[in-house]
Amino acid sequence: MKYRYLGNSGLKISELTYGNWLTHASQIDDTAAHATVHAALDGGITSFDTADVYANQAAEKVLGDALKGLRREGLEIFTKVYWPVAKRMPNDTGLSRKHIMESINGSLKRLQTDYVDLYQAHRYDVETPLEETMQAFADIVRQGKALYIGVSEWNAEQIRAGHKLSKELGFQLISSQPQYSALWRVIEAEVVPACEELGVSQIVWSPMAQGVLTGKYLPGQPAPEGSRGSDERMGGMMGKYLSEEVLTRVQLLKPLAGDLGLTMAQFALAWVLQNKNVASAIVGATKPEQIASNIAAVGVEIPAEVMVKVSEILEPVAVFDPRETKAPEARLV
């Protein structure tokens, strides 16, 4: 495993972050969840990402149980706040002071820790004044409940505004957690340049485009049984990736990966890690062997000419429009 600094800070995180968005308390039972977490630890992964909304708070508890008894100082634990949780009452969502302060306490209890290393705004809240949100984050940092603050799926303008307030309030906003892959490149035009200027790193999610970049989805064939593509709940998110043209072009990446001795999944992870503004790529797993395989992507240098070929193959179907980074229009969605 290799480690990178997160933003303009002294905090190092592992180049792969273990995430439990769709797995813990959902796809796999707790025994399997604990096995994957410990496979991540065995492979040198020290960074773990979750959110209160995952499995409506249950995923945080599973992760807390899995990490219980380990040396806390040797871990970096991230969680997030924004989406509706618990009983989904009017104040059970958003980035109001009330919701943030109540949410951090709940997350710490479920994670069984006194603090999180990184507390992230899971989306931008158009209904709450940004000053209120950032003041709440500043107070949480001063209380020692979070060491650093990050955001997720904020556009460049929102990141600039939040970063400015964080400086004024005396704390560090050091990370952005966007979707990013060779098929979803919307952060490249505006978010990455702004973050490079401000000293903010990316911790990217869906680096394999929900599994499409693993090559397991074949053109002209139904999605493999038990895969995300066959799950109706994922239909809205997967739909954009499962077109015949996308799947056909993805298959053209196989010889490029093979020439480097990589699986398609490893190739997809190595591709996002070539971006120097990316501190870490989030990976999930239902089996320990998946984590062990993913770790082989760390440290791979994809030659420049191969990166060019990837762009030539995927640019016609990849998404680049920075306007795709959108804040929800209302909190109760």
Active site residues: 54
Q: What separation in angstroms does the CA of 94 have from each of 61, 103, 138, 149? A: 21, 10, 17, 16
Of the candidates 55, 325, 281, 57, the residue with the CA atom closest to the CA atom of residue 190: 325
Matching residue, tokens 């931008």: 124
Name the residue type at position 120.
Answer: Q
At 187, phi and psi to the nearest 5?
-80, -15
Is the CB of residue 100 less than 8 Å from the CB of residue 79?
A: no
Q: Which residue is it, tokens 């790529």?
A: 281
3-state secondary structure of 194: helix
Is residue 272 within 8 A of residue 204, CB to CB? The reply is yes
Report residue 278: phi and psi, to 5°: -90, 115
Q: How far apart are CA 52 and CA 146, in angstroms?
A: 15
User: What is the DSSP code (8-state) at residue 80?
Assistant: E
> What is the DSSP secondary-structure string of 216-230?
-S-TTSPPPTTSGGG
Integer CA distances (angstroms), 253 to 34, 249, 308, in order: 33, 7, 12
Per the structure block, which two tokens stand in for 290? 């998946």
Half-sphere exposure at residue 255, Cβ-oriented, CA atoms within 13 angstroms = 4
HSE (side-chain half, CA atoms, 13 Å) at 90: 1
